[in-house]
Chain A
Amino acid sequence: MQQGNLTALSITIFIILTVVLIGFLAGRDKATRSSVEEWSVGGRRFGGLLVWFLVGADLYTAYTFLGLTSTAYTAGSLAFFAIPYSVLAYFISYFFLPKLWKVANEHKLTTLADYARERFDSKLLSSLIAIVGVLMLIPYICLQLSGIQDTLQVAGTGFINVKVVVITSFLLVALYTFFSGIKGPTYTAIIKDVLVWAIMLFMVVSLPIMHFGGWNPMVDKIVTEAPHLLTIPESGPKGVTWFITAAFVSSLALFMWAHAATGVFTAKSADAIRKNALFLPLYNIVLILVVFLGFIAFLVLPDETDPRFALLALIQTSYGGIGQGLAYSTIALASLIPCSIMAIGASNLFANNIYRDLINPKVNGAKLTMITRGMVFVVIGLALLFGLVFPQALVSLQLLGVSGMVQIFPAIVISLFWRNQSREATIIGLLVGLVVTFTVYSTGTSLGIYEGFWGLMANFATVVVLNPIFVKKAKHSSNAVKNYLFDQSSKEEQLVRKGA
């Protein structure tokens, strides 16, 4: 690896430390860690703009930038699947998140698994959802870890021991998350989002000028020299069908992730969530341009460049110390801050839905809060351990993360609208979906269709076929959440119709 740049490294470290400090300051009020609800979802007091920053910070991670550019570098326009995926994810969220938020707010729920437990009266289902959530999230945290590791490697080779710095920065993040809860990543998210927008736009404007004399000459050059990058392959293992199914399944999966749900539950009203559904697609303007950075890397960098380092190498060859430093710190923050929110999401699932629902139902509030907070160290520790010690074991889980997460969609979203959806059919459907996904993946029989799509279809089919068998019980049973979702509103409607 080429020697790093001392100015760039100093700027990166300075910005990381500043943000960690702000993360700590965000939690100087003791109330931020007084209960699980305060610590993990900020007491549900965040307005539209803050939620926008938080969810944006949450979902646009270092892996988004590094992964998309390296996909663009190797597989061209397949990388654009991220655009319809996230635009549709927000669009779909408009139809169910406000409802989900209201149930969660009414019944003081902080995780999706909490909702499933109350909706179906099933601790088995909630702990299953929590296990899937934690299992899929830890590899995702590892991806963030490798993001910052690659960045520091490019910035600091010859000056620092990269592993030591990575471990230190993650421990600092764990510490401020433990201390400040969701307040930490929220305030730092604003810095990160502003930096991301500024730096990515700066790169998108300056790089074409530096290397090609402008945007249009660059596009002309791609069209003549590498036209294969600009369209989706018509056939092959990953072609248009893969693109469409991957985008669709991922869009359903996005808000099933624990960290995304955590972000959403911080909102103070259903309307704040609607506004977010409305404005979040605009975040993708920056994303579509980032993919072009991968194309620039393809044209500019020597052939033997490791695709994983495409964006970082492009930054290194194009800018001086200050430009490099700002770009590296942006990517580093895009790694650390989502990591903090992910750790909150995973800890919450573990403490509420694995520890309390499964192991110790009688745990009191203060102890549960402490366990939830303490789990941050376990989650980040596990991510560090796996990421640094067994990086290869994670590859499958990372590839299957989205396909696995989407399997809880019927339990979480369909159940908001379908009163007679039964617990038994939902649980079996979830398991069938997971098994089919993993089987299709490990036997390589996806037929050019996204693995999760097969799993989700099997999942839906199972629920629909089995539900009539169990429907009798579901029809007659009732509980607070069901009442809230279905009966109360029908009562209100009746009142309105009667003109009362």
Chain B
Amino acid sequence: MKKLLLIVLISAPFIAQLVVLPFVNRIDPIIFGLPFLQFWLFLWIVLTPFCTLGIYHLQKSEGSLD
């Protein structure tokens, strides 16, 4: 379970910011004053640190952080 969560947290920033780009490459809908592509990139500026934080805590709880 923890292993799965770790894999999700590690791969999410790559998938969101590289792999899915062709699908988010659009103007509509405009959210918070940002066209969709820019909103999406902005969203992941904020979400990526949470992924890192999650990984940090997982590693800490496993004691694998040296």
For B26, the chain A residues whose CB sits under 8 A away are 231
In residues 31-51 of chain B, which contact A (Cβ within 8 Å)?
Answer: 33-35, 37-38, 41-42, 44-46, 48-49, 51
Check if B8 is an interface residue, CB within 8 A of chain A.
Answer: no
In residues 276-308 of chain A, which contact B (Cβ within 8 Å)?
Answer: 277-279, 281-282, 284-285, 288
**Contact between chains at B17 and A278 (CB < 8 Å):** no
For B13, the chain A residues whose CB sits under 8 A away are 87-88, 91
The digit string for B2-22, where 1 denotes a CB below 8 A from any CB of A, is: 000000000001100111011
**Contact between chains at B48 and A91 (CB < 8 Å):** yes
Residue from A88, A234, A489 within 8 A of B17 (CB atoms): A88
The digit string for A74-96, where 1 denotes a CB below 8 A from any CB of B, is: 00010010011001101100100
* Complex Cα gap A90–B41 (Å): 15
**Contact between chains at B56 and A87 (CB < 8 Å):** no
State the Cβ distance, A301 to closest chain B Cβ, in Å: 21
Check if A215 is an interface residue, CB within 8 A of chain B.
Answer: yes
For A90, the chain B residues whose CB sits under 8 A away are 48, 52
**Contact between chains at B17 and A216 (CB < 8 Å):** no
In residues 216-266 of chain A, which contact B (Cβ within 8 Å)?
Answer: 216, 219, 222-223, 227, 230-232, 234, 240, 243-244, 247-248
* Complex Cα gap A94–B27 (Å): 32
**Contact between chains at B33 and A232 (CB < 8 Å):** no
**Contact between chains at A83 and B21 (CB < 8 Å):** no
Check if B58 is an interface residue, CB within 8 A of chain A.
Answer: no
In residues 450-493 of chain A, which contact B (Cβ within 8 Å)?
Answer: 489
The dominant DSSP class at the B interface is helix
Residue from B33, B48, B52 within 8 A of A219 (CB atoms): B33
* Complex Cα gap A91–B27 (Å): 27
**A240/B21 contact (C-beta < 8 A), A91-B52, A223-B27 known:** yes
Residue from B17, B27, B33, B51 within 8 A of A230 (CB atoms): B27
Residue from A102, A232, A288 within 8 A of B42 (CB atoms): A288
Check if A419 is an interface residue, CB within 8 A of chain B.
Answer: no
Sample of 13 further A-B pairs with CB below 8 A, known A91-B48, A234-B25, A288-B38: A80-B37, A84-B18, A88-B13, A88-B18, A90-B48, A91-B13, A91-B52, A219-B34, A223-B35, A232-B21, A240-B21, A244-B19, A279-B49
Chain A residues within CB distance 8 Å of chain B? 77, 80, 83-84, 87-88, 90-91, 94, 102, 215-216, 219, 222-223, 227, 230-232, 234, 240, 243-244, 247-248, 274, 277-279, 281-282, 284-285, 288, 489
15 contacts between A and B (CB under 8 A): A80-B37, A83-B45, A84-B21, A88-B13, A90-B48, A91-B48, A94-B56, A216-B33, A223-B30, A240-B25, A244-B21, A278-B52, A282-B46, A288-B38, A489-B66
Chain B residues within CB distance 8 Å of chain A? 13-14, 17-19, 21-22, 25-27, 30, 33-35, 37-38, 41-42, 44-46, 48-49, 51-53, 55-56, 66
